[in-house]
């Protein structure tokens, strides 16, 4: 039976005309639908593209605007700290000394507060990650400088602050300009020395003397102010030595350089004489005030904790720093005993044998140069990190910088010419040291220890790391101006462990590296307990000489350093802990990367606080 339909066809098929009509209708509908859909898609795509473009454009505009603000803020900082500017290679202010007059400090505090308020109003969340990091670094450094001027106020109790030696030395150390130009700047700074020292004496004399016994009788009082009782004796003793070094620089090096440009004698000569007289007077004043220097330099728990947070730029309390150091001391002691056993003795016995291979004042610089060449060859052969042919000079440490550390790396500023040398300074023993103290010093810094020291200060430690930092991208001027102590020192301690892990120097250098790692943990312990817990010299010496296996002379110097500085000694241990963690995360994220690729990546962002590296490396 046939099925009837109103259209003359079976349901669902229809006639050929209907089929044609359906096809046309479908095509038109699809066309219209597609057109509408395409139009909507295009519109959405264009909108998204425009939004992305606008977002990118806004982000780029924000970045440019922030870079301008950051440059202006840094310029303000450098105008108030001309010696810092010179060290960075910014020579606009080479004719000035830092101004410690009360009205100048007030002006600087006002500038810092104003710039910090402006920074806090910036929408930094909209900035690219590297600019955002620079914004955070700028904020920390502005707060740190404010803290120095308004809280710790070292210029009121430390006679070391007003020493013009570094300001003069920086103008002579590197040939960034013709000698005649640099000597004119030297003369301008020399002319300001008498007033600067007079201001310093007036400021230091205005602080009332309080006995250290009284200052230490109350934890609350100790926590609320720094250097209770005026100038601390250790600071005055060190100032006498360092100001004597500055006087030697004025009478010696500057006078000798003037002979090469005799036409400047009428300008530089009188300034030299006035500076000589002012320095001589100031040194005499320091000696006269030595016996009455009863101040205590310990910051106290509250003040130290606040400074530590700014220096480390990480949320870590003094108690946390101390506990981590104690844990590491136990771990390293066990490892030290294992390595010593392979050399046939206890740690003390093996270290005593190694200490017998000691340099002298006459050989120490040559040994450092030889160790530097050896370490450089080892790094290249093992492809640990990309190397650069920047000039490095091993020098005898200038007297103006002696008395705090045995060695340091003095790199050119980021704005200095690219061929400017890096100085690896070694401090020989002072001429007035007795023979027993000299022997103790070189037992500590024996030939094997010197090889480890070269790793830390030079290769692949500070010298090579800072060479990398000068070549990285520069989002803003903040990137060039500031560096993080925990990152710089943390990398150097990390470099030590990586070199010995690869076999550099064999077991003798590994023993010294472990001893230094033990020292870095004890440095943090000293830092916290000296400033927060009233650690006594006797207890500190027992710790360093006993569990730390340090020579008595080294331990004495470290005790003085713990009193002369605050929060700096913690940077080694906290820094290496952070660097190790970051390297571990990067290796896990990039398992196919070589050691060289990992290390180059870690060093490719300059000298930021370690807490910023995960974001910069794309790890979070």
For the segment 288-316, the average pLDDT, to the nearest whole number, is 96
- What SS3 state is found at 296? strand
Same domain, yes or no, for 299 and 326?
no
pLDDT category at 57 given cuts 50, 70, 90 is: low
For the segment 361-383, the average pLDDT, to the nearest whole number, is 95
pLDDT category at 418 given cuts 50, 70, 90 is: confident
Is residue 213 pLDDT above 50, yes or no?
no
Residue partners of 527: CB distance under 8 A and separation at least 6: 321, 562, 566, 567, 568, 569, 570
Is residue 72 pLDDT above 60, yes or no?
yes
Q: Which of 96, 92, 231, 257 is nearest to 159 (CA)?
A: 231
Residue 28 in any domain: the answer is no
- Rounded to the nearest 5°, which phi and psi values hold at 295? -65, 155
- Distance, CA of 115 to CA of 98 (rounded, Å): 20
pLDDT category at 29 given cuts 50, 70, 90 is: very low
**Residue with the two structure tokens 């990118």:** 56
Same domain, yes or no, for 411 and 541?
yes
Residues in the chain: 620
Overall number of domains in the chain: 2
Is residue 316 pLDDT above 50, yes or no?
yes
Residue 4 in any domain: the answer is no
Question: For the whole model, what pTM was predicted?
Answer: 0.86
* 369, two tokens: 């140069």
Same domain, yes or no, for 293 and 317?
no
Which of 33-37, 238-242, 457-461, 571-575 is predicted least confidently? Answer: 33-37
pLDDT at 6: 33
- What SS3 state is found at 295? strand
Q: What is the pLDDT of residues 30-49, one digit of tens each?
A: 444 444 444 444 444 444 43
Cα angle 122, 128, 131; round to 5: 65
Q: Which of 306, 336, 363 is the endpoint of a domain?
A: 306
Q: What is the pLDDT of residues 250-281, one digit of tens each?
A: 999 999 999 999 999 999 999 999 999 999 99
Residue partners of 216: CB distance under 8 A and separation at least 6: 222, 296, 534
Residues 90, 413 contacting (CB under 8 angstroms): yes
For the segment 520-525, the average pLDDT, to the nearest whole number, is 98
* 502, two tokens: 């690869």
pLDDT category at 398 given cuts 50, 70, 90 is: confident
pLDDT at 21: 33
Same domain, yes or no, for 362 and 287?
no
Same domain, yes or no, for 230 and 340?
no
Q: Which of 567, 572, 571 is nearest to 226 (CA)?
A: 567
Which residues form the domain of 545? 307-616
Same domain, yes or no, for 393 and 283?
no
Residue 26 in any domain: the answer is no
pLDDT at 60: 87
| Higher per-residue confidence, 26 vs 140 | 140
- Distance, CA of 50 to CA of 47 (rounded, Å): 5
Q: Which of 283, 306, 329 is the endpoint of a domain?
A: 306
Residue partners of 447: CB distance under 8 A and separation at least 6: 357, 358, 359, 367
Same domain, yes or no, for 230 and 219?
yes
- Distance, CA of 480 to CA of 415 (rounded, Å): 8
In order of 86, 184, 281, the CA distances from 271 in angstroms are 20, 10, 15
Is residue 66 pLDDT above 70, yes or no?
yes
Beta bridge partners of 424: 394, 409
pLDDT at 415: 85
Is residue 445 pLDDT above 60, yes or no?
yes
Is residue 360 pLDDT above 60, yes or no?
yes
Which of 41-45, 121-125, 286-290, 313-317 is predicted least confidently? Answer: 41-45
Residue 190 in any domain: the answer is yes
Share of the chain above pLDDT 70, in %: 86
Q: Indicate the DSSP class of residue 304.
A: H
Average pLDDT score over the chain: 88
Residue 45 in any domain: the answer is no
- Distance, CA of 316 to CA of 326 (rounded, Å): 15
Q: What is the pLDDT of residues 121-170, one digit of tens each?
A: 999 999 999 999 999 999 999 999 999 999 999 999 999 999 999 999 99
For the segment 13-20, the average pLDDT, to the nearest whole number, is 31
Residue 77 in any domain: the answer is yes
Q: Which of 263, 280, 306 is the endpoint of a domain?
A: 306
Same domain, yes or no, for 488 and 604?
yes
For the segment 397-402, the average pLDDT, to the nearest whole number, is 76
Identify whether 3 is preceded by a cis peptide bond (ω within 30 of 0). Answer: no
Residue 440 in any domain: the answer is yes
Same domain, yes or no, for 564 and 461?
yes
Residues 496, 517 contacting (CB under 8 angstroms): yes
Q: Judging by beta carbons within 10 Å of its beta carbon (0-12, 13-18, 19+), is residue 518 exposed, middle or buried?
A: buried
pLDDT category at 192 given cuts 50, 70, 90 is: very high
Same domain, yes or no, for 288 and 319?
no
pLDDT at 207: 65
Same domain, yes or no, for 91 and 130?
yes
Is residue 99 pLDDT above 60, yes or no?
yes
- What SS3 state is found at 550? coil
Q: What is the pLDDT of residues 462-513, one digit of tens each?
A: 999 999 999 888 899 999 899 999 999 999 999 999 999 999 999 999 999 9
């Amino acid at each position: 039976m046939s099925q009837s339909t109103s259209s003359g066809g079976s349901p669902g098929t229809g006639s050929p005309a209907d089929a044609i009509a359906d096809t046309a209708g479908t095509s038109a509908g699809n066309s219209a639908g597609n057109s509408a859909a395409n139009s909507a898609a295009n519109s959405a795509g264009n909108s998204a593209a425009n939004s992305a473009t606008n977002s990118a454009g806004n982000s780029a505009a924000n970045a440019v605007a922030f870079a301008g603000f950051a440059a202006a803020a840094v310029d303000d900082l450098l105008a108030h700290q001309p010696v810092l500017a010179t060290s960075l290679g910014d020579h606009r202010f080479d004719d000035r000394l830092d101004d410690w007059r009360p009205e100048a400090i007030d002006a600087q505090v006002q500038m810092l507060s104003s710039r910090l308020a402006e920074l806090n109003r910036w929408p930094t969340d909209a900035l690219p990650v590297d600019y955002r990091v620079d914004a955070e670094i700028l904020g920390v450094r502005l707060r740190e400088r404010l803290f120095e001027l308004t809280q710790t106020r070292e210029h009121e109790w430390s006679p070391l602050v007003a020493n013009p030696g570094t300001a003069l030395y920086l103008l002579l150390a590197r040939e960034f300009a013709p000698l005649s130009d640099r000597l004119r700047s030297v003369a301008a700074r020399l002319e300001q020395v008498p007033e600067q020292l007079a201001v310093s004496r007036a400021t230091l004399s205005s602080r009332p003397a309080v006995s250290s016994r009284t200052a230490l009788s109350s934890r609350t009082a100790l926590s609320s102010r720094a250097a209770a009782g005026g100038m601390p004796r250790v600071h005055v003793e060190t100032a006498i030595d360092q100001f004597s070094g500055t006087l030697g620089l004025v009478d010696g090096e500057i006078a000798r350089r003037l002979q090469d440009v005799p036409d400047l004698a009428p300008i530089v000569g009188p300034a030299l004489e006035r500076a000589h007289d002012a320095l001589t007077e100031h040194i005499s004043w320091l000696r006269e005030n030595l016996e009455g220097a009863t101040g205590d330099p310990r910051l106290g728990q509250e003040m130290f904790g606040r400074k530590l947070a700014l220096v480390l730029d990480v949320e870590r309390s003094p108690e946390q720093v101390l506990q981590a150091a104690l844990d590491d001391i136990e771990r390293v002691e066990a490892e030290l005993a294992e390595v010593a056993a392979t050399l046939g003795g206890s740690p003390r016995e093996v270290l005593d044998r190694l200490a017998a291979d000691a340099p002298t004042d006459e050989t120490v610089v040559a040994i450092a140069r030889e160790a530097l060449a050896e370490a450089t060859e080892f790094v290249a052969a093992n492809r640990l990190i990309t190397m650069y042919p920047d000039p490095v000079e091993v020098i005898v440490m200038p007297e103006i910088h002696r008395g705090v550390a045995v060695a340091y790396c003095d790199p050119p500023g980021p704005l200095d010419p690219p061929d400017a040398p890096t100085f690896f300074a070694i401090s020989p023993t002072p001429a007035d040291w007795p023979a027993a103290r000299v022997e103790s010093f070189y037992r500590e810094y024996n030939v094997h220890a010197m090889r480890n020291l070269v790793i830390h200060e030079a290769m692949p430690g500070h010298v090579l790391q800072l060479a990398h930092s000068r070549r990285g991208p520069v989002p803003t001027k903040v990137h060039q101006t500031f560096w993080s102590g925990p990152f710089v020192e943390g990398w150097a301690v990390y470099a030590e462990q990586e070199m010995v892990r690869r076999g550099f120097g064999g077991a003798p250098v590994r023993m010294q590296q472990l001893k230094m790692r033990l020292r870095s943990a004890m440095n943090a312990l000293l830092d916290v307990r000296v400033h927060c817990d009233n650690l006594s010299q006797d207890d500190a010496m027992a710790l360093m000489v006993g569990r730390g296996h340090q020579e008595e002379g080294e331990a004495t110097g470290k005790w003085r350093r713990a009193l002369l500085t605050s929060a700096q000694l913690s940077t080694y241990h906290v820094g290496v802990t952070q660097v190790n963690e970051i390297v571990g995360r990067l290796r896990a994220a990039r398992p196919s990367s070589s050691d060289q690729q990992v290390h180059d990546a870690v060093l490719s962002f300059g000298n930021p606080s370690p807490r910023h590296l995960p974001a910069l490396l794309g790890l979070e």
